[in-house]
Structure 1
Amino acid sequence: MRTDRHFTGLERRIDEAAHRFLAGLPRHRVADSLVEFLVFGLKQAWACLFGGAMLGLIILTRWLWPEGGAGFIARYDFLFLAALFIQLAMLVFRLEAWEEARVILIFHVVGTAMEVFKTHAGSWIYPEENLFRIGGVPLFSGFMYAAVGSYMARINRIFDIRLNRYPPLWATIVLAGAIYINFFSHHFMWDVRWVLFAATFALYRHTTMHYRVFRFRHKMPLLVAFLLTSLFIWIAENIGTWSRAWIYPNQHDAWVPVSPGKLGSWYLLMIISVVLVTLVHRPRPYIAQEEPRDVAGDAGETA
């Protein structure tokens, strides 16, 4: 199915050119699999556009930024201003939809509030000085959460994601609220993350995500999608701490990999992320009978 109605103007032109090229390729199982794999990677890269740009800047400034700053601007302030520029450019050049900008703003506010609390509690620190900050939190940090929001909103659109057997929206909001509260409350009382993991499994165990790559729709359990996304964010966090954009207490003297235990935190954050996105893009079920045939002549689905 062509999902033009979900694309920005530039994306629609890219999609049309890609269909003209890819639809002319030979049709057999190996070729179809290679095309699906290639397009999947390209779409994922496109969905990561904002986050990838931010991560690239963090790496570059780690290598190139002078010790003690560039004289007229601190590294963190440069990252903040660069993030603002990238965000505005993506909107002006229609690389991002205005609906996604609303999601990103929500992520920015939610993430910054947690950052202020967590840095005050000593969970992690930002070791460099800068001007644009709230307490111990440079304002660029909110854009790292916004990058997650950008990715979640963009994949929903460009993969035309449908969710079958999705839980009641009110139940997901309650769970997301409990997860967010636990990020704060576990500093003062019991950490109930294992209860939250169990609640997550109970709520989403039957939910299946259906997504279109190019010729076919594919599906996977939504819980597996949460885990895979959490893994990639954990890898990005290792890059971020290696660059000393922020560090954990055990990384103060020398960098060590981020504990695999943080995967659980990112997994729970995925629940919050999905719920926030569903407040803007309400979950839609996949109904095979409503799936029109695409330009390649297939409306199939693979597991």
Structure 2
Amino acid sequence: MSDEAGTTDGDGAIPEDPSAVQRALIEWYESDHREFPWRRTEDPYEILVSEVMSQQTQLERVVDAWVDFLDRWPTAADLAAADRADVVGFWTAHSLGYNNRAKYLHEAATQVVHERDGEWPRDPDGLSELMGVGPYTANAVASFAFDNGDAVVDTNVKRVLHRAFDVPDNDAAFEAAAQRLMPDGESRVWNNAVMELGGVACTKTPACDGAGCPWREWCHAYETGDFTAPDVPEQPDFEGSRRQMRGRVVNVLGEYDELSLDDLGPRVRVDYAPDGDHGREWLRDLVGDLRDDGLVAVEEREGETVVALAR
């Protein structure tokens, strides 16, 4: 490891002058990186769609869905004018995870079109005011669309910083270290580069030499052979999960104007029994969550609970 590394207060062993580290990573990224279509655009709408789709979904799986989505709704105005049920149906058909993300994306587009005259906020604080856009997504859109973001800190970036510069497993330390490393005014290329490093070289099983990691010269883990990293929560199994059942409810309701609970239940679970563990009360609770998310409408009618997609 280079002897230029200097320990900062709680930030790990980051070089006092990080310019060589910065240059090495950017040159590595610009010489060869994975090609994703959203890396070739600076349109905030297209980038927001990619960021929302990428939440807990492998990037390779997102590509086709992203292209199909933009073919159908190429602009924020097109999405804002769409029937929300159609957007949710698209989300379900492409297995993109929680359907409320589709609802929030639709509402964010509506905000931009109708409340901001089509003008997108250009910084993380402004983007965070859009429906369903949290701090991480706001910063990513600000970085990749406007080159106006802070350092991105996701699971991959934490792993890289922990291994390379012995940054403590502490959110505040990761934020401080990431921000100290990022070159001023270069959030677009830097955040893409550091996430790429975590995605192809500093993975759970590192490929330091195979991927030509540009930080080997400074890397604490490469020097010591200790490649432990912060614990990474595992995504719960999808099969049989509440997330899967929510998707099934929305998918089934897309084929019918409305259904009672007892007509809906067997179409969601083959083991549905009105008075069973996965029966009427279980389904009532599930559709209640979807109603709270604005995805379905629930009505009590003549002693029956009737459910339909929200319009």
Question: Same fold by TM-score, threshold 0.5 exceeded?
Answer: no
Report TM bin, short chain.
Answer: under 0.3
* Structure with more helix by fraction: 1
Instruction: Kindly indicate whether structure 1 or structure 2 has the higher relative contact order, using CA contacts under 8 Å at least 6 residues apart.
Output: 1
